[in-house]
């Protein structure tokens, strides 16, 4: 039995680091696990221009010790008013790595999101021309569509057409949760990829209702049926370069989760690698973990692989019931459970 596994230092291709006190509290967890991360722009107000992204990047770096070597990769939050030239300038200046598309009202802080994706054609054409990736929260917001079907319907109604009309646009379908998404991405051209979170590999929708309402298992897209979890797992461990690690770690203070209207988001940053590795071991795919965690994403984004290594060892680690206190008290994914692997510092 393998008791230690050493891989190239990995990256997180989708994370929410928040701002203010929460940023100060959570950034170190991501920087401890990952060399780089794609930083989500859904702050209040959202990060829609390069000046805001530079200021946010500075706040992220200021929240970390100077020697972490962590690189935040910034994203531009697309609105109906997105300007192709400003986005291209931000990309050329090395500020924006990608653009994030939230359909308006799809999730946390998406009220300024896009109401008609195809009306943004001039932006998408420009991104396609300069090779700038488009990161998509792939859910329709139509209230007549069942919440468990919103990802599959987004693929049918929007994504098929988007890929057809922008054949060279690099698209990441973020945090996939369904067999339909895994199948779509697998069959799509090489311009289309997907990130996968630990929670969507580990829980199905029963977790949200397990003996009572479980707000800490609620995120968006919401966890789906068991057959979808199995399909997403198969995609993650398939060895296909189209699938890569993106935690979607999304901390909310405990009171905002345990509420009459609890926020969507699972905070998984402190034990993300341990969580993913458990899945790869269960699937007898330890040899594919490095590709998923450390190579596929960088290749898709056209970025160099990281130098350096990280090691995980087989050792029980008890995940705390709660991390932080006051304004930054959060309940982590796997709270109270014992994981079988531990990242060696
Ligand atoms: O569960 C989620 N939380 N899904 C998202 O898309 C946004 C995120 C957040 O920002 O809390
Ligand atoms: Zn997210």
Say if residue 107's pLDDT is above 90: no
The ligand 1 atom at the shortest distance from the C-alpha of residue 16 is 10
Q: Which of 262, 263, 333 gets mutated to test ligand 1 (max ligand atoms within 8 A of its CB)?
A: 263
Residues belonging to the chain: 345
- Nearest to 300, CA basis, from 136, 127, 169: 169
Contact 199, 221 (CB under 8 A): no
Degrees (nearest 5) of the Cα angle 108, 172, 287?
Answer: 110
Q: How far is the CA of 4 from the centre of ligand 2 (A)?
A: 30
Could you report the per-residue pLDDT of 268-300, keeping only the tens digit for each? 999 999 999 999 999 999 999 999 999 999 999
The finding on whether 221 has its CB within 6 A of some atom of ligand 1 is: no
Q: How many domains, in total, are found in the chain?
A: 1
Prediction pTM value: 0.98
CB 309 within 8 A of CB 253: no
Residue 264, domain CATH: 3.20.20.140
Question: Which of the residues 11, 12, 49, 248 is marked catalytic?
Answer: 248
Confirm or reject: Cβ of 16 under 6 Å from ligand 1.
Answer: yes
**pLDDT tens digits for 136-173?**
999 999 999 999 999 999 999 999 999 999 999 999 99
pLDDT band (50, 70, 90) for residue 1: confident
Pairing of strands 309-318, 4-8: antiparallel
Backbone angles phi, psi at 8, to 5 degrees: -55, 145
**DSSP, residue by residue, 132-172:** --EEE------TTS-GGGHHHHHIIIIIHHHHHH-TT--EE
Q: Which two tokens stand for residue 226?
A: 């068991």
What mean pLDDT is predicted for residues 26-39? 98
Does the N-terminal peptide bond of residue 159 adopt cis geometry, omega within 30 degrees of 0? Answer: no
Inter-residue contact 231 to 302 (CB < 8 Å): no
What pLDDT is attached to residue 259? 97
Cα torsion angle, 266, 276, 325, 46, sign: negative
| DSSP reduced 3-state for 338 | strand
Pocket lining: 108 vs ligand 1, CB cutoff 6 Å: yes
Res. 183: pLDDT tops 90: yes
Distance CA 47, CA 76 (A): 6
Q: How far apart are CA 57 and CA 235, in angstroms?
A: 32
Q: Measuring CA to CA, which residue among 203, 333, 344, 184 is closest to residue 266?
A: 333
Do 306 and 278 touch, CB atoms closer than 8 A? no
248 as an active site residue: the answer is: yes
Counting ligands in written order, which one lies closest to the CA of residue 208? 1
- pLDDT tens readout for residues 307-345: 999 999 999 999 999 999 999 999 999 999 999 999 999
Contact 248/194 with Cβ under 8 angstroms?
A: no
**Band (110; pLDDT cuts 50, 70, 90):** confident
How far apart CA 329 and CA 345 sit, in angstroms, is: 24
**Structural domain span for residue 120:** 4-344
Which residues lie across from 314 on neighbouring strands?
341
The residue behind tokens 């206190």 is 325
CA distances from 247 to 42, 127, 199, 214, 277 (A): 16, 25, 8, 20, 13
190 pLDDT band (50/70/90 cuts)? very high
| Distance, CA of 300 to chain centre | 15
């Amino acid at each position: 039995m393998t008791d230690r596994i050493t891989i190239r230092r990995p990256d997180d291709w989708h994370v929410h680091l928040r701002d203010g006190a929460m940023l100060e509290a959570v950034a170190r967890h991501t920087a401890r696990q990952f060399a780089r991360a794609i930083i989500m722009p859904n702050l209040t107000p959202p990060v829609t221009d390069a000046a805001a992204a530079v200021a946010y990047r500075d706040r992220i770096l200021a929240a970390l010790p100077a020697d972490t070597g962590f690189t935040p990769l910034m994203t531009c939050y697309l609105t109906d008013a997105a300007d192709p030239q400003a986005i291209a300038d931000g990309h050329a200046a090395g500020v924006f790595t990608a653009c994030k598309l939230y359909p308006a009202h799809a999730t946390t802080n998406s009220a300024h999101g896009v109401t008609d994706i195809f009306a943004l054609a001039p932006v998408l054409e420009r991104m396609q021309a300069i090779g700038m990736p488009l990161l998509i929260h792939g859910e329709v917001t139509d209230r007549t569509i069942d919440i468990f079907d919103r990802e599959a319907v987004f693929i049918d109604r929007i994504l098929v057409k988007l890929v057809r009309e922008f054949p060279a646009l690099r698209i990441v379908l973020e945090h996939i949760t369904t067999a339909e998404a895994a199948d779509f991405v697998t069959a799509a051209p090489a311009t289309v990829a997907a990130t996968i979170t630990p929670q969507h590999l580990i829980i199905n929708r029963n977790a949200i209702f397990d003996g009572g309402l479980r707000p800490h298992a609620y995120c968006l897209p919401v966890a789906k049926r068991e057959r979808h979890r199995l399909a997403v797992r198969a995609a993650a461990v398939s060895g296909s370069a189209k699938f890569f690690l993106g935690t979607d770690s999304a901390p909310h203070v405990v009171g905002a989760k345990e509420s009459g209207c609890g926020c969507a988001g699972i905070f998984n940053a402190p034990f993300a690698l341990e969580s993913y590795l458990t899945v790869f071991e269960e699937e007898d795919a330890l040899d594919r973990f490095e590709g998923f965690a450390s190579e596929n994403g960088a290749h898709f984004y056209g970025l160099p692989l990281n130098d350096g290594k990280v090691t995980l060892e087989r050792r029980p680690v008890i995940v705390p019931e709660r991390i932080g206190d006051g304004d930054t008290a959060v309940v982590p994914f796997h709270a109270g459970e014992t994981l079988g692997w531990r990242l060696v510092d």
